Structure 1
Amino acid sequence: MQYRLSDHAKKRLQQRGIKQEWLAAALAMPDITENDAEDATLVHALKEIPEKGFKRLRVIYNESIEPVTIVTAYFE
């Protein structure tokens, strides 16, 4: 999936130590996807990351824009 990072997402990925490869894996092969409860344009992709002790990475992106735009990402 082609995507771009919002300025907020860039800052948060660096701040939270989230690797681009983990982000790409969550988007390409999520364990589960969820629609956002408040914003119909947003999707949540969730993926367990083995290198982080199988913590679940949540990637929130706007699918109404081409390419999709990553809004934020964090470990649960």
Structure 2
Amino acid sequence: MAPRIRLAQHAEVVMRERDIASAWIERTLAAPDWDVEDPNDPTLRRSYAAIAERGGRILRVVYRPDETDIFVVTVFFDRGARRP
């Protein structure tokens, strides 16, 4: 069974403000172009993916995984994202 994706209130707000589709978040979490540990908080991870519908801009999804859920803390287009 696939983990359930839950969104922090902050993530919900920025999705609406920045017109970020939930499908893009799901796609980024399911098949990221790259995924790294958050350097500021080892309980969080960062997944990145190019979003074709937005001209290839890189979406960053910051989340906390657990056994059954993925809790998305924030999401945004990251202009400075560079693949490690």
Structure 1 match to 2:81 = none
Gaps of 5+ in 2: 79-84
Shift of 1:64: 3.9
Q: Secondary structure at the match of 2:25?
A: helix
TM-score (norm 2): 0.85
CA RMSD of aligned residues (A): 1.2
Give, in whole Å, the separation in 2 of the partners of 1:65 and 1:75: 27
Q: How many residues align?
A: 76
Aligned residues: percent identity? Answer: 33
Shift of 1:34: 0.9
TM-score (norm 1): 0.93
Instruction: Work out whether residues 41 and 64 of structure 1, in 8 Å CA contact, stay in contact via their aligned partners in 2.
Output: no
Q: Does 1:22 align with 2:51?
A: no
Larger radius of gyration: 2
Moved beyond 3 Å, runs of 4+: none
